[in-house]
Amino acid sequence: MVTGRRKTVAVLGGGVAGLTAAHELNRCGYDVAVFESTGCRAQDLGGKARSFTGPTHRAGHPMFGEHGFRFFPGFYSHVIETMETIPLPDVEEHVVDNLVSLPTSMFYARLPDGFQEGAPTTTSPIARAKAWISGLGVYVFLGWLIFGCAVVWYRAMPPLAWVLWLAGPIAWFLVRTVVFVSTEPGCTWLAIPLPPDGTTRPHRVQGWLLRLHGWWRYLAVVLALAPLRVVGDPARAVPLVLLFIGLAWWYPALATVRFLWGSILHKIPPGVRPGALESAAASLRIAAVITASERRKYSQWERESWWSFIGAYRYSRPFQLAFATGLTRSFVATRAERMSARTGASILAQLLYDISPTLLDRNPADRVLNGPTHEAWITPWVRKLRDDGVRFNEFRVNSELIPVSRVEVTELCLREPHDVKAPRVGGFTYLGPGSEIPELAPEEFDYYVLAVSGTAAQRILANSDELIRADRDVSDLKPVAEQVGVRPDRRSRIEKGPACVKNDRDLPYLDGIFSLDFGWMTGLVYHLEQEVELPKAHLLCLESEWALTAIDVGQVWGKRRISPWQSVISVNVSDWFSPSAEALPARFESLDNVRKETWRQLQAHVPELRRIDGVPPFVPDKAINDPDPVALVERMHHLVGPTSATATLENLALTNNETLLVNTVGSWDNRPTAQTAFANLVIAGDYVRTWTDFASMESANEAAKHAVNVILAHDENSAAPCKVQPLKVPRELKGPVRCVSALDWCAV
């Protein structure tokens, strides 16, 4: 812990990154002050993870609003670890106990014309026969491997027999997959069952083979050391040793692929189902990224778009919906034509790991909070920080705390006198409530954490021209950042990530932030007076022009929280820049038209919603602003005078105050690391280089922990550093992945 005077840290920004930095720095003994432009109350904090109360409706009952529904997939680890340390009031539980696992995930295609809910679906006898035959796959596969090996070995057949024995399972696997994918259940949606708690047991035979993976080395050694005692002939013992090693090494990978092809693709609605060969091609491309070396990932595939990487332009529209546009827009709010192949494949692989029942070690695949975000997470978090001494929007002047309702940072200032070799930040200017002239912060802090959003960081750095020039001037003297992704084109251990090399120019420049793209992924919350029986799941509308993803949060929040409403449907609109069949791009529509068109697209996919008459009331995200009414009031008199009823004004585009990073091709080079050239300035935000690598609560939390570790290392603080870790590779797949990636390293 820090001894003597407690060093002070200014955290600029009160979102997930800022609160995480304050949380960890306070644990390490620092005096932390958080400054947020929206206010210092609990309901003002949380950034893009916040929730809020919308306008009152129906007998004075308020409506809920959120920036977007909270989604905690299984590979989230950093934010979950933080939630485990936040206590809930009056109970012996923590915020992590407010997470609820969803049992399924739903993928919807557009409903055909004339669709009637409840109409019986039929499957042809041929399709049923195909499904029955394909169900024998695991037994035929294992039988051929075990008994076929025994026959070939016992009969002492020639080497060609061993080749046929190895080729047989592969051929059966491919044929069975093609047959399975060709079945047609005749539905318009796909329900993927999710492991609820990460403890679902696989088939007994499959579980035995998966556990064999952990001790195959010992079995192979025993067989190799005592071949005469086992089989009496050392030459014949070799195939048995290879059999055990092969089963333990490759079966988990094959079982995972079998699940993804057999248990998912055959259920996809026929209208949007990719072909078997197309699916095989996409799976091979995803596997190529997973098993690629770090050098190839960052030097080659970071500079290629996901659309080009999987060859979407060569395949059918169902292929593009399933593997290119649909999933990427719904999860990472970007276009497949612009997103880097490295990011697309890495995140898609993590999602597939989570839903695969063939892996033993996994977390719940899909979790959501059991209440509005502020009630379930942010308010207990802020309460804990206040109790621990963290101050919000308070300056210390002559040992006296001066509260300020809002602090909007406008500029970072250099410390004077300016040291060319080791520049330091000396303070910041801000706009207070009702002020139009920036004021200098009255307290000098030892460290500064820039934890604002990406667009806010661009605005602050644009005003901090001296800081930008100093960052360029000391390029030859920059420290090496011991953080993920400084120079990923050099060889390194996978656990340590793309390692830093001893090159003083490895640290990226701060002005690279201006080259980053920030997009929209925000939503609406509909409040229904009529109850609908929706699945307890995230609903992905694959063919929606605006890339809609929804969830009935009323099912997990409980009727008491949403009363008197029967259902509360939270919708994320991921694509605000594409037109639909009946509307302009969402950004160029009015908020009321966005409400109507979003509901129309939902009804076009989800049959249960077609029973709802009219468009329900909604609460849009507070970050979205419609400038049209303001323009109407300010300009009407000057344009047409008192006869304003006939006036027609231009349709001004909607604005969004809280955009998020879009992982475009090559954007990694421009993203900053948590460490900067300034000894007392670190950066935290979802646009910082992290293992998570896409804009989310997880990346914001991880970036803040990287920033805290930089401060601890600079101070030589004895407190335990924050735990940061790369994206997981399941232990059943680590062996094959490491072998192939090592070979790929030599090939690059």
Query: For residue 404, what are its two tokens?
Result: 């300020």
**Nearest Cα to 35, choosing from 460, 461, 448, 387?**
448
From the list 413, 515, 408, 414, the residue with the least C-alpha distance to 458 is 515
Query: DSSP 3-state assignment of 702?
Result: helix
Whole-Å CA distances, 38 to 13, 35, 45, 279, 564? 9, 9, 7, 47, 30
Place of tokens 């021209």: 465
**What is the rounded CA–CA span in Å between residue 516 and residue 187?**
41
Measured CA to CA, the distance from residue 510 to residue 465 in angstroms comes to: 11
- Count the neighbouring beta carbons within 10 Å of the beta carbon of residue 70: 20
pLDDT at residue 134, rounded to an integer: 54
Burial label, 554 (beta-carbon count in 10 A; 0-12, 13-18, 19+)? buried
Q: How far is Cα 238 from Cα 438, in angstroms, rounded to an integer? A: 78
pTM of the model: 0.81
Give, in order, the Cα–Cα distances in Å from 247 to each of 148, 422, 467: 14, 57, 58
Q: State whether residue 431 is helix, strand or coil.
A: strand
Q: 23: which 2 tokens? A: 């949380």
Which of the 8 DSSP states describes residue 670? G
Bond from prior residue into 417 cis (ω within 30 degrees of 0)? yes
**How many other C-beta atoms are found inside a 10 Å radius of the C-beta of residue 403?**
10
Q: With residue 25 as reference, give the H or E element that holds it.
A: helix 16-27
- The residue to which tokens 């420290």 are assigned: 479
Query: Residue 598: what pLDDT?
Result: 92
DSSP string, 621-638: -TTEE--HHHHHHHHHHH
By residue count, the chain amounts to: 748
Secondary structure string (H, E, C) spanning 126-190: HHHHHHHHHHCHHHHHHHHHHHHHHHHHHCCCCHHHHHHHHHHHHHHHHHHHHHHHCCCCCCCEE
Q: How far apart are CA 211 and CA 255, in angstroms?
A: 13
Outline where 542-641 has alpha helix (H): 554-557, 559-562, 591-603, 628-640
> Is-contact 63 619, C-beta < 8 A?
yes
Q: What is 299-330 written as a DSSP string?
A: HTGGGSBHHHHTTGGGS-HHHIIIIIIHHHHH
Cβ proximity of 550 and 71 under 8 Å:
no
Using DSSP's 3-state secondary structure scheme, residue 290 falls into helix
Residue 410 burial (C-beta neighbours within 10 Å; 0-12, 13-18, 19+): middle
User: Closest Cα partner for 248 from 222, 224, 218, 226?
Assistant: 218
Question: Mind giving me the DSSP string for 249-273?
Answer: HHHHHHHHHHIIIIIIGGGS-GGGP
Spatial distance between the Cα atoms of 476 and 463, rounded to a whole number of angstroms: 24
Ranges under pLDDT 50 in the chain: 1-3, 118-123, 180-186, 198-200, 203, 224, 226-231, 477-505, 634-641, 643-648
Joined together, the tokens standing for residue 462 give 């644009």
2 burial level (CB within 10 Å; 0-12, 13-18, 19+):
middle
**What is the tens place of the pLDDT at every residue in 628-638?**
765 555 444 44
SS3 419: coil
Question: What residues form DSSP beta bridges with 401?
Answer: 396
The helix (run of H) or strand (run of E) holding residue 244 is helix 234-258
Q: Round to whole Å and give the CA distance between 518 and 66.
A: 20
- What count of other Cβ atoms lies within 10 Å of the Cβ of residue 228? 10
